[in-house]
Amino acid sequence: MEIYAAIDEIVKQGVISELIPEEDGIYARNQIMALLSLEDFPEQGGENSGKDLPELVDALVNYAVEKGLIEDLFDEKEILGSKIMNVFMPRPSDVNRFFYERYESNPEEATDYFYQLSQNSNYIQTKRIAKNISYKAETDYGDLDITINLSKPEKDPKEIAMERERKQHAANYPKCLLCIENEGYAGRLGHPARSNHRMIRVGLSGEAWYFQYSPYVYYNEHCILLSGEHRDMKIDRDSFTRLLDFVDQFPHYFIGSNADLPIVGGSILTHDHYQGGNYEFAMAKAEEEYVFTIESHPEVHAATVKWPMSVIRLRAKDKASLVDASQHILEKWKNHSDSSVQIEAYSGDTRHNTITPIARMRNGQYELDLVLRNNRTTEEHPMGIFHPHGDVHHIKKENIGLIEVMGLAVLPARLKTELAEVEKFLLGEPSDLAAYHLPWAEEMKQKYQEQLAEDTVAEIVKKEVGAKFLRVLEDAGVYKRNQAGQDAFRRFTQVL
């Protein structure tokens, strides 16, 4: 009888959370029964279990595994869970209609509606996200956000092997994880379930773009904006125009793009997309440092920013002027070399310079932060000269994309257990300390020998992880925060 109680309760939860009206309750129950191969439904009574929607979905999925309806594989369970929640979801056309009805009143009402829907439908994995370890680390550049990412479950070796086998005969649909064709796609082994996925249609510079939230949000209202066309990432004049078009339509959001070159770009370079949200990162709060004039665009306010990476901040009331100034800087930067600080624009025909742009509205003006990037490698730094260097890889070695650039560290799940062992080591207790943490741990032990105690060690480690992430950002900065680096940065502004 437990399965019937769970179905009854999830339908009631769907009504309470306003996913469906009460008159759709029987329809929703029957749809879920069909997914679980149930043919009758005994009368229900008694108290509810108090479980939330994700827990109730898990209960229904576990029933399907126990009855042999699906295999006990992560992807199969995700596919069924997504299908169950799709029972409660409006069609994409209805979601867009509800969204734009609210937009007419206030853009924030529209995004509030869609964000709540994405959470209530279990598309945003709130239960898993809650497992992340997140805190702020105080630095000279403001409070950096530190997140140890524990939200994405690990697959077992059997499933990974099956995925590899399947990829040899894999379908080419959808073309990637971002494409519009993911909307409502059931999923398959190796491709995530998206039955309960919806996107908002957004026009940008005459093109069809699509707005969604990240299933594993790293900050408030973490959204993704993707091109309707499956095409490579590219930073150009059109990128700046689209970013400013978006903040025109959603002035309470920022929007930014990963760079368009390997090493300094994000994890997906094969589909043009941006990321944004309703959150103010440390970089957005950073002060201007050196104000300068762009001779061809004197109406645009320009300044460097006090930030470990190399940022030019532009501000103007006129959008076209700001786009022109940004394009001017991009073209100058793409061809700029300065051997005194290891910046080389090209190796043969291979370009190394690009930009990570971030747009926002501030005090009634458009604002664009242009973060200068270079992806050149050397024998000494095979992963990139302006990439986290080897001595910080024990904390972070992955690409520094848009989110990290702005001051939010997304750190690997392994650190949860590894840092606990570091704490034991610092307290002189037996520990299984990873060898790559040893130099760092010994340095901390020397630095904090008078302060280390059971009630202080966790905060000390957190602080030092924040310091390591700051080093990561400093490594990724093309103009270092020293005299030579800042002199070279000013020389580039003079080129403008």
Q: Which residue is listed with tokens 């009504």? A: 15
Q: Which pLDDT tens digit goes with each residue over 81-136?
A: 999 999 999 999 999 999 999 999 999 999 999 999 999 999 999 999 999 999 99
What local confidence, expressed as pLDDT, does residue 158 receive?
Answer: 66
Give me the pLDDT at residue 24, please: 97
- pLDDT value for 45: 75
pLDDT band at 160 (very low <50, low <70, confident <90, very high): low
Q: Is 71 helix (H, G, I), strand (E, B) or coil?
A: coil
Per-residue pLDDT, 290: 97
Considering only residues 207 and 46, tell me which one the structure prediction assigns the higher pLDDT: 207
Give the model's pLDDT for residue 166. 66
Q: Which of 237, 234, 246, 304 is nearest to 272 (CA)?
A: 234
Choose among 146, 101, 100, 91: nearest CA to 121. 91
DSSP code of 69?
S
Q: If pLDDT is split at 50, 70 and 90, which confidence band does 43 have?
A: confident
Token readout for 24 is 């759709």
Q: What is the mean pLDDT of residues 142-168?
A: 77
Task: Give the confidence band of 44 by pLDDT, cuts at 50, 70, 90.
Answer: confident
Q: Which two tokens stand for residue 5?
A: 């109680």
Q: What is the pLDDT of residues 339-393, one digit of tens each?
A: 999 999 999 999 999 999 999 999 999 999 999 999 999 999 999 999 999 999 9
Least confident of 263-267, 292-296, 373-377, 475-479: 263-267
Of the candidate ranges 265-269, 301-305, 385-389, 390-394, the one whose mean pLDDT is the lowest: 265-269
SS3 338: strand
Contact 134, 147 (CB under 8 A): yes
In the prediction, which pLDDT does 435 show?
Answer: 97
Segment 235-254, tens digit of pLDDT: 999 999 999 999 999 999 99
62 band by pLDDT with thresholds 50, 70 and 90: very high
Rounded percentage of the chain residues whose pLDDT exceeds 90: 92
Q: Which of 196, 277, 179 is nearest to 31 (CA)?
A: 196
Q: What is the pLDDT of residues 134-149, one digit of tens each?
A: 999 999 999 999 999 9
Neighbour tally for 287: CB within 10 Å: 11
pLDDT above 80 (res 292)? yes
Question: So what's the pLDDT on residue 164?
Answer: 66
Residue 10 or residue 266, greater confidence: 10
Predicted local distance difference test score (pLDDT) of residue 169: 60
Provide the pairing of β-strand 301-305 with 311-316: antiparallel
What residues does 361 pair with on adjacent strands? 366
Tokens of 490: 């000013």
pTM: predicted TM-score of the whole model, two decimal places:
0.94
Q: What SS3 state is found at 57?
A: helix
| pLDDT given at position 47 | 73
Q: 318 pLDDT band (50/70/90 cuts)?
A: very high
Does 170 have pLDDT greater than 90? no
In this prediction, residue 469 carries a pLDDT of 98
* Domain spans of the chain, in order of start: 2-91, 130-150+232-237+245-412+476-496, 413-475
The pLDDT, as a whole number, for residue 1 is: 58
pLDDT for position 233: 95
Amino acid 171: pLDDT = 75
